[in-house]
Amino acid sequence: MKVTFEPTPNPATLKFLLQRQVSNLAFDCQTPQDAEKSPLAAKIFGFPWTAAVFIGTDFVTVTKQDWVEWEILAEPLAGMIQEHLDRGEPIVIELQSLDTDSTNDTPLIKGIKKILDTEIRPVVALDGGDIVFNKFENSILYIHMRGACAGCPSSTITLKEGIEVRMKEVFPEILEVVAI
């Protein structure tokens, strides 16, 4: 199956659809050093225009620098990703769990993580992004926005009018949701 691509709400980020599951967990690379556990991300960071790489379960989002346009990059990058997959080269090595079900979590935190994992993350993944629980402290839910969500012009709307509204609806003890 051929790697295809589509725009995301973040104009600096393109989502490459791999047409098959390549990982059970997501992997975020904000720097070339982060990419040391992902041969594919390391290869993409080999280009000077790369700003970030996010590997989802069946897609890769790539964020570019402002000085280059997707019209020049998209097709060759899709071809390179396709070649990487066709050769059977590894996508990610030694990926660790995001600890979405810690035995030390309170029932409230387990519930928050469950809603994030079952309702919010799948929707955000459609646009090439990811949302990960960080902590719940002083009635504030802290999350990480990754992939296409990081730096997206509409991420504040997604955060406040989507995620925060839903989380407050389910958990009245949440006063605010903050991205870190």
How far apart, in whole angstroms, are the C-alpha atoms of residue 52 and residue 43? Answer: 12
Where does the chain show beta strands of DSSP type E? 4-7, 13-17, 27-29, 50-55, 59-64, 129-137, 140-147, 176-179
DSSP 97: P
pLDDT tens by residue, 29-72: 988 888 888 899 999 999 889 999 999 889 999 999 999 999 99
């600890």: which residue's tokens? 99
DSSP 34: G
pLDDT tens by residue, 74-104: 999 999 999 999 998 888 876 544 444 566 7
Reported pTM:
0.71
**DSSP three-state, residue 35:** helix
pLDDT of residue 11: 93
Q: Which of 2-16, 69-83, 104-118 has the lowest mean pLDDT?
A: 104-118
Q: 4-86: CATH homologous superfamily? A: Scaffold protein Nfu/NifU, N-terminal domain (3.30.1370.70)
Q: Domain residue spans in the chain? A: 4-86, 107-179
CATH 3.30.300.130: does it fit domain 107-179? yes
